[in-house]
Amino acid sequence: MTNQVFSCPVCKEFLTIAGNSLKCKNNHSFDISKRGYVNLLLSKHNTNHGDDKNMVLSRRDFLNLGYYSKLANVVSGKVEQYAFSNCCILDLGCGEGYYTSHIKENLDKKCINGTVLGIDISKTALDYACRRNPGINYAVASAFDLPIPTDSVDIVVNIFAPHDIGEIGRVLKNNGILIMVLPQKKHLWELKEIVYDKPYENESPVPDFGNYSLSEDEELTYKINLSSNDEIANLFAMTPYVYNTSIEDKEKLNSINELTVTADFRIAVFKNKK
């Protein structure tokens, strides 16, 4: 883990490495896990937050098949376009690190020496993210209270994840870059046609973030040919639909062993003007 990339969630002072922990000048201390991430999520109760193990493994198994590699390549290319030596890149809501790892590997390949951070609220997700690429600085934290110093990040990446534009603006430097991936209208449409009696299209307007100017707006649409029920189930399990779909509707997928679905993404790049 790189020194001084995170701030104390209690007092907001810099955290520095002290043995197997991160510690601030006020002696608030946070252990670095055996996998390499640090838990900076303040909670009054010992509660599991974010995606559980089954959802994390579904996402990992599906993404490892390469169906979203086109998106990963586009996002990594966008980061490379705006990256520079010693820049700081934050993947906000990084999950099990699929896209974060692509970003880091591409920067290393291009010999761009940047610090890559990954934030997610799920300890389980970060446990698997560290296995994918231990060279990334991972922390369990809320996107709505980032343990990151103000004006310290050059590029923020946000792919389908919850976020707070105020917090992004706080940590992002003036003229910093926000790369956001959003689902387009027809994303996974064929999957929704099977599950729901009345499927709905996604809303896909370009967000208006006030002080941010839109630099790029790109669409990426292609077909994915799923060849087993496991692949179909894993794709559905890694979507937000899994949380608000009835058991009866979920069971509609049980007999489907082949499916062609539309991947429909929007990649928007914003520049922060403070």
CATH code at position 58 = 3.40.50.150
CB-CB contact of 93 with 240 (8 Å)? no
Cβ pair 272, 212 in contact under 8 A: yes
pLDDT value at position 48?
Answer: 56
- Name the helix (H) or strand (E) containing 220: strand 212-226
Burial 94-118 (b: 16+ CB within 10 A, else e): bbbbbbbbbbbebbeeeebebbbbb
Q: Which domain holds residue 108?
A: 16-272
Residue 125 lies in a domain: yes
For 7, what's the count of Cα atoms within 13 Å in the CB-facing half-sphere? Answer: 15
Cβ–Cβ < 8 Å for 147, 8: yes
Q: Three-state SS for 120?
A: strand
Answer whether residue 11 is part of any domain: no
Six token digits for residue 191: 């999957």
| Ranges of the chain whose pLDDT falls below 50 | 45-46
Q: Residue 47: its pLDDT value, please? A: 52
Residue 83: how many CB atoms within 10 A of its CB? 23
Q: Report pTM.
A: 0.93
248 located within any domain: yes
**Residue spans of alpha helices (H) in the chain:** 53-63, 69-82, 98-109, 123-132, 165-171, 189-195, 229-237, 247-250
Task: Flag whether 210 is in a domain.
Answer: yes
pLDDT score of 202: 86
Total tally of structural domains belonging to the chain: 1
Does 10 map to a domain? no
